[in-house]
Amino acid sequence: MILRGITSATLHHHRHRPLPPTSASFSVSDADLAGRGFTLHRDATSLDLARLNSIFVSVGFPRRDPEKIRLALDHSDALLWLHDSRSDLPVAFARATGDGVFNAIIWDVVVDPSFQGIGLGKAMVERLVDDLLRKGITNIALYSEPRVLGFYRPLGFVADPAGIRGMVYSRKNKNKRRN
């Protein structure tokens, strides 16, 4: 299901310029995250891709080719991940792609199952949305498994209020038409 968060922010910043300071109020503050041993990163330079892949698999995503993960991260408009100082491992991740001006889609929101239920996923999505809004991107969508829709609704995501329905290209369906 596609969910969409539509806002009325009017900032206009190019995606490669530094973000202006945030005035957002997050459910878990940066200081609280740090006090709990988590370090927030906004680039993938030191991200352990094998560990990220393990988190993907642990939440039901398919294992991915690490070179393709790196390419996807390089083409992301925004990304965040949390490092746990106690285990010395990344434990949460989220990213967004888009046109850098109007639209973005949030992908790959994952939290290691042993760290779920303590607000890390919410902290990631709140910050990712805030980063996109501060870039002036106001049309923010995401894809979600039906079983986790309830997680995103309190964060401002709804089924598209304009009634737009998402579609996906399916090579399988295309091949059926040819036969």
Residues involved in catalysis: 152
3-state secondary structure of 65: coil
55 with 110: CB under 8 angstroms?
yes
CA dist 45 → 26, 31, 76 (Å): 25, 23, 13
Per-residue CA distances from 95 to 41, 51, 77, 107 (Å): 12, 16, 8, 5
Neighbours of 129 (CB within 10 A): 24
| Measured distance CA(148)–CA(69) in Å, rounded | 23
The answer to whether the CB of 106 falls within 8 A of the CB of 96 is: yes
